[in-house]
Amino acid sequence: MYIIAGLGNPGKQYENTRHNAGFMALDALADQLGVSVEERKHKALCGRGMIGGEKVLLVKPQTFMNLSGESIRAAADFYKVAPEHIMVIYDDISLNPGQLRIRKKGSAGGHNGIKSIIACLGTQEFPRIKVGVGAKPDRMDLADYVLGHFSQIEERIMEDAAKEAGQAAQAVILDGMEAAMNRYNAKKAQE
């Protein structure tokens, strides 16, 4: 079994913000799998599905970004899922809008949601799919930037990126991490 978690902040005011790229990708994956992510459990909205012959639990933590780890840890403990089977999809300001980067493990890189997950799981050894949202402008506060909404052009790019991130999550399970990394990490996003 895999847990696939998309990170974001709950609430209408955060929809289509950069920090909710993980929610957008998880919604796209749920659409691709024909799964509803509406069950309230583990401080999250959850949905169950299958990728290949593998059971998956789709998770959208409702704890707000900085406490994402609480939700993911609760789900992992309940289903007894090891960290290497917990895939996290989230926004990354070091990648161009729409660019994907799959990693087997790694540090938080300044991302508070990932910091929370590392703290709650006690390890950095979990796969992740980063969805690029672009670098913040020089004189702008980081929190204002990641909580800001996409432009219309960015919104179209991010819709495509969300779908692709959903496909990438499936590829990790169906084809393996190396094959998925080779396919999706090589692609360059639109500038």
Read off the tokens for 71.
């939700």
| Active centre residues (catalytic) | 19
CB atoms within 10 A of CB 185: 14
* Beta-carbon contacts of residue 32 (< 8 Å; ≥ 6 apart): 163, 166, 167, 170
Three-state DSSP class for residue 181: helix
CA torsion sign for 117, 162, 181, 30 is: positive
Nearest CA among 186, 166, 21, 191 for reference residue 87? 166
Distance CA 175, CA 142 (A): 36
Is the separation of the CB atoms in 109 and 91 below 8 Å?
no
